[in-house]
Amino acid sequence: MLARRLIPCLDVAAGVVVKGVRFRDHRVVGDIVELARRYAEEGADELVFYDITASPERRRVDPEWIARVARELDIPFCVAGGIRSVADAEAVLAAGADKISVNSPALARPPLIDELAARFGSQCVVVGVDAEGDAGARDQWKVIANSGKPEAASDSGRDLLDWVREVADRGAGEIVLNSIRADGVRGGYAQAQLAAVRAATSLPLVASGGAGNPEHFADVFERSGVDAALAASVFHSGEIRIGDLKRYLAGRGIAVRR
């Protein structure tokens, strides 16, 4: 089995890293470059940067901070936020990102996924999915658009599993599934949704939202079959160090990159 990846997530707003709970009440947690450097040194496998207000504000992500990050990192990183065209993606990749991720713009115009995959290759195209709904109400799982700015968030009208299958058919190379109800509350990943998405697609799947302790990471790898786990607040606070987490997971028999 391939080694499971650990991916710190850095939500970016107004040029700094922030963190909220269920996408609300964001607070500043640090400088973009300083945090990126710290995670690379700790042993992160990849990083993901989300410009959380770019899509709802209908603007491009700023390539200046992407270039600063690229000069400091020797691990892959992905950038999301406001990528609505091939030209937008080219600007992000030219600044130094290894992957681009689309979410709300793809919901608004699904052929964007096809265009990005045709231009850059599926391995470069990640689709983020923000899911809402009770764990036991599978027929009510829905995909939320513009979730990075609560006053602009809305139900996209799409069923979660139908959308996952569509993005795979359109050429996406990876899916990041974030449970809005689990985000920032540290109660564990949304296992039911993740397991259902895992059954619906063979694409690499990244779990996002809900990590609070090392057991949550082990549980999501063992029970949901995801390829990677993404987290923010437990890494930002220093409560969990990536090197320590990898040793813990290896002790549970979970393959991780040393």
Contacts of residue 184, defined as CB under 8 A and 6 or more positions apart, other chains included, come to: 19, 20, 21, 22, 23, 209, 232, 233
Q: Is residue 111 part of a domain?
A: yes
Give per-residue burial for 11-39: e unless 16+ CB within 10 Å, then b: bbbeebbbbbebbeebeebeebeebbebb
Q: Which of 45, 51, 88, 130 is catalytic?
A: 130
CATH classification at residue 11:
3.20.20.70
Q: What angle do CA 155, 115, 207 make, to 5 degrees?
A: 50
Task: Judge whether 214 lies within some domain.
Answer: yes
CA nearest 106: which of 121, 126, 90? 126
Mean pLDDT, consecutive 10-residue stretches, the chain (258 aa), reads 92 76 61 92 95 78 91 95 94 97 95 98 97 74 82 85 97 95 84 95 95 96 96 91 97 94
Note if 169 is an active site residue: no
Q: How many domains does the chain have?
A: 1
- Taking the C-alpha atoms of residue 201 and residue 179, their distance in angstroms, rounded to an integer, is 17
Note the pLDDT of residue 1: 61
Q: Considering the domain boundaries, does residue 258 fall inside one?
A: no
**Which entry of 11, 45, 88, 219 is annotated as an active-site residue?**
11
pLDDT number for residue 75: 96
Query: For residue 149, what pLDDT is reported?
Result: 66
Tell whether 257 is covered by a domain. Answer: no
Encoding tokens for residue 140? 């009510």
In a domain, 141, yes or no: yes
Residue with tokens 């890293």: 17
Q: What is the per-residue pLDDT for 8? A: 96
Q: Is 256 among the domain residues?
A: no
Take residue 196 and report the two structure tokens written for it. 């259902």
Asked whether residue 188 is domain-assigned, the answer is: yes
Those residues whose C-beta lies under 8 Å from the C-beta of residue 45, and which sit 6 or more positions away, are 5, 6, 7, 75, 76, 228, 257
Domain range enclosing 89: 5-251
Per the rule left: phi > 0, alpha: psi between -120 and 50, beta: everything else, 127 is: beta
Cut 0.85: pTM above it: yes
pLDDT at 186: 86
Question: Is 11 assigned a catalytic role?
Answer: yes
Contact 19/25 with Cβ under 8 angstroms?
no
